[in-house]
Structure formats: structure tokens, C-alpha cells
Structure 1
């Protein structure tokens, strides 16, 4: 694993001047998303907090020093994703696909997808492709060490919704593995098209946020609370990883995470990924399935360059 070459731990003071740049951060009304938005705005960027609950978003935005605005986006509803993208005008330098749910009880999005796969992955897949013609710099998508947790997580192509075999942690791991495969295939397509846009991924290690509070298991919620108190780093420290991916000069396809033990905490560095997350054939297959499920495809204006 490549290490950060800074002699001091990388932090928000190392973010280059972002004046004149525009960023969208999904799920930015709390936790990692809010910490990410706060840091980018503090460095001079104009940041759009893309949130499901606009009222909560406005409350969060009021805590941020800098240029921010709130726009509604429900990643569990593809009509909302399309509305958000249709309302975007002008260049977008940076898209950070941060929003997500974790280990929730079995459920369905408005479009009928399993909640975690639909919200964490398919919503971001559609959003990215719809905005891609206007993205000028990079897309950073949030994954997790859960993509390589015990049990060898995989994409259940024969049963993506895990119907009849649903397990909250299996569904979460699948959604985060999907984000890495998405990044892999998106970068392949961008490179083939000669696009300067880069696709990167990041994970925050174990960060104490409210994400774990909706776990379907009462026992796991207790364990999360204990871990958040005694093991985890705080949200702003976890957010350093997507921030590092967003502003450092890294190759497309890079995956960033903490450099400490088991990648739970530490300084942002290039992180390891599972063999399943590095499978180009699986990445292409997932992309094709995702296009079929969402009705959203890689933009023709970009793909045409390949011909």
C-alpha cells in the first residue's frame, strides 16, 4: 500500500485554494458529508449540499462558513435524481458521492430496488452519469472496508435485491463493493474517451457519525456506540479521506483510506481493495445492469469521442 509522503499528517489546512470551484456533496446535512462540505467551503469552493430533507440541509448550511447552498436530492427516488440533474446549469468541478445508509432493515426504494443497493449505489450511478457532461475535474465515491469484510462480499448478479436471503450487512457490503466497481469502470470509460475527468473512491475508516444508528440489529447498535466512543475517529477526521481524493493530484481509479491499523483511522493514503473490487469484467457487467435498471447511460457526448 502506498503511503502519504507528508512528514506531518495531512489535514484540511493542506487543501489547495478552491476559489472559483464548485462542488456537490450528497448527504451533506450531517456527519462526513457536512464535514466535507465545510472543509471545501472553508477553502473557497462554492458547495452545494445535496440532501433529501431541505429543512435539515438549511440548518446544516447555517453552520458552514463560506459559499454554500442547499438543493433537494433523494437518492432513493430516481425521479428526484433526474430533477436535480436537470436543474444543474454550468460547470461542476467536483461531485462527491457521499450519501448512504448502513445495515438497515429490508426495504425498497421508490423505484423498487433494495434500499442499500438503490440508495448507496444506483442513485449515485444515475446522478453521476446525468451530471457527467458538466463535470470538469473529478468524481469521488464513498466506499467502505466492508467491501472486503469476512464472507467475501460479491455482487449478487442473480439476486441484486437479495430477495429471500436478505441480510443487512451483506446488502451494505454489496453496495460498497458496487461503488468501487463503478469507479473502476467509470475511469475506464473516461480514459477511453480521452476525458480529463477522473473517477476516484475513498473510505473514511471507522468514523463516529450517526450512520450506524439505524442498524437493523439492536446488538450491533450497542457495539457501534461503544466503538464510536472508544475506537473510532471523529467525522472530520474520516472526511479527510474523500477530501484527499478530491483535491490531491492522484491517478484516476485511486482508492483512498486511513493508513492506520486495519485502515480504521489515520492519515489519508492509497488504500488496498479486494480482488472482487478489482475485477474489470464484473465492473463492466455491473455497469450494464445498472444502465438497464436506472435507464441512465454513459453520456453520448463523451462516449462519442471513443469512435
Structure 2
């Protein structure tokens, strides 16, 4: 049994008010603030939480707070040294914390499969999976599997990891799959070619497309869960504008460095610290939020402020695009979510969409 760590109450995960949002990514009911009234602390002892990209930024902040609530936290990171430093930092705060470390490169499907095997060998159930890791690549960047880097790391690697951990997620009561998107999804173009092999190189265009893919994935996964009648929850969130390493300077094109510098300049005025940016992830992971909800900050053009349900863009709600993306992801990754998607009955119940809409040549437009 993991002992309850000693932290200040403000560092513990707490529900952020009354959650009565209707299921579905289009949930509109507000999460009402609880004001100054005392809020119960969440006890996550006995639960296993896997977080990708947990060595820094909002992933690290989510990991440390889940550990403070008693969860066994699996840090899934690309850099072993930085992951070990993050684990030491969490243990130094919480003497009773149980931390596992698994190396994963989301840009390599072989690495994803190896990491999933390690997690399934060590843990009989996964109660919380937070698909958090993200990157902004440069023009022409590809993963080890040959797909555009933002799509490969931000979406495809997480798609494969989720599918490979599906049996462990189904073994837990009311497990959560949290997909971390971004408000950048609102400016993404809905074009399948923008994902594995973009027609036009564009650093931020590719990033926005990958964040749209995150939401389409969460949307379709929620529909599969509802149709199959299992006790999983697929919850999406976006952290707002957070001061992280995502826009750190790297030797890329002059145009990219200029764009990153401009965004950092704006961020200096409105960006919030990673601890605040982690709040949507924590609420999606531990609060009473129904499957299908999309959470994010509600003020300053959705960049910061109280967390509430957010209506995703029209493109993110496009069921035909979600189906096409799902089929493309299965084809590229070889992971098919058989426990959820193999049943023809389940497929017929997903919005009445015929197989003709799932062929690669079908238009994703509404």
C-alpha cells in the first residue's frame, strides 16, 4: 500500500466544482466553480497512471500531483537521464511515492511497442493513460517510421501506445484515456495529406494538424467506447498557453526561429506556468468528468483561467474525418484496437456511417 504523502492541501488534486457536463465532445454544461468552500482531496492509492513526456512541463507537473494523490506513476519519456531526474524530484517531495520509469520514443513504433510490453509486464492494470508528450518539428522532419514528425510523435505514437495498452486499460474499473490537444487545432486544415506526408512543409501547420488529429482520435475513441458499452472514458483537454520548452530555440530555418521568437514574446505576457497548465490534465484524469468531454481554460481566448468544457472546432467534430484518420492510423501503426473495433455491430452503431465513407478516397468534408 502506498502511504499518503505529506504535501500542502493546495498541491493535492481536487475536483474543481460540480461536473454535470453531458457526455460527448460537444458538452456545453459549465463546470461551476466551488468558490472558497472546502473541496475533497482525491485518493488515487491503488491506481496506476502512465504519462508520456513526464520529465518536464505540464507532464511533470501532472506526474508529481498524481503521485501526491497516491497513484503509482509510470513516467514514459524519451530521455532516460531527464526521466531519472524527474523521478528523483518527485520522490524527494513525496517519500512514499511509487514511481516507475519506462523509456519510449514516440517517433519509433518499435520503441512504442517495447515500452508497452514493459508496462504490461509490470502492471496488471492501467487506470489512467495521459497521452501528453508533444513536439514541434522542423520542415522536412520525419520519424524513424518515415512519417511527418508532428503527426508521428504527437498522434501516431500515442495511438499505438493506447491500443497496445488497451487490455490493461480494460482491466481497470473506469479507466481514463486523456488526449492532450491544443487550441492550435482550431487553425488546422482538414487534409489527410497534412498528416503522414504533407504537400507543403510548414512547421506550425504540421503541429496544428497533429493537435486536430489528437481530438479526432479522442472523439472516435469515445464513440467506440460508447458503442461497445465498456467502462473506459476518453477525455480530451488542452492546457492553454503554457511556458514550456515546446518553443525552445533550435537550429532550424530563419523563418522558424523568427516565428518561435514572436510566439515567445507574446507568451511572455500571457503564458501561465506549467503547474497551472497541468490542471486540465489532472481534472481529466481524476475528476468526475464524463467520457467525451473536452476540457480547457475558459478565459483570454482559451489560453488561461478556470477550467471548463470547451466546444472543439467543427473540423474536430467531423465523424468522417475521424473514421478516415482512424483507418490511416491502423494502417500505419499496425495497431487495430481489436477489443473495441472488431465487432461489426459496434461499427454499425457509430453514427450510421457506411463503409464507403471510410475509404481513403472519400472526402472528409462535412
TM-score by length of 2: 0.78
Q: CA deviation at 1:281?
A: 1.3
Pairing partner for 1:4 from 31, 38, 50:
31
| C-alpha distance in structure 1 between counterparts of 2:200 and 2:37, whole Å | 42
How is 1:1-307 mapped onto 2 (pairs within 5 angstroms)?
1-8=28-35, 16-64=42-90, 65=94, 66-87=97-118, 88-89=120-121, 90-102=124-136, 104-135=138-169, 136=172, 137-149=175-187, 153-158=188-193, 160-214=195-249, 216=252, 217-300=256-339, 303-304=342-343, 306=345
Q: CA deviation at 1:68?
A: 1.1
Q: CA RMSD in A?
A: 2.1
* 1:108-152, Cα deviation, whole Å (9 max, x unpaired): 100001000000000000000110111131100110000002xxx
Q: CA deviation at 1:17?
A: 0.9
* 1:12-57, Cα deviation, whole Å (9 max, x unpaired): x765111111100000010011001011001110101000111110
Q: CA deviation at 1:280?
A: 1.0
Greater mean alpha carbon deviation, residues 291-300 or residues 32-41: 291-300
Q: Which is higher, the Rg of structure 1 or of structure 2? A: 2
* 1:86-119, Cα deviation, whole Å (9 max, x unpaired): 2223100000000010253431100001000000
Greater mean alpha carbon deviation, residues 211-220 or residues 116-125: 211-220
Q: CA deviation at 1:2?
A: 3.4
How many corresponding residue pairs? 303
| C-alpha distance in structure 2 between counterparts of 1:95 and 1:277, whole Å | 21
| C-alpha distance in structure 2 between counterparts of 1:17 and 1:2, whole Å | 26
| C-alpha distance in structure 2 between counterparts of 1:51 and 1:306, whole Å | 37
| C-alpha distance in structure 1 between counterparts of 2:36 and 2:238, whole Å | 17
TM-score by length of 1: 0.93
Q: CA deviation at 1:252?
A: 1.0
Contact 2:141 2:149 in 1 (8 A): yes
Aligned to 2:20: none
Greater mean alpha carbon deviation, residues 111-120 or residues 2-11: 2-11
CA distance 1:129–1:233, shift in 2 (3 Å) = same
Matched position secondary structure for 1:140? strand
Contact 2:177 2:234 in 1 (8 A): yes
| C-alpha distance in structure 2 between counterparts of 1:60 and 1:203, whole Å | 23
Matched position secondary structure for 1:267? strand
CA distance 1:225–1:160, shift in 2 (3 Å) = closer
Unpaired runs of 5+ residues, structure 2, are: 1-27, 347-366
Matched position secondary structure for 1:57? helix
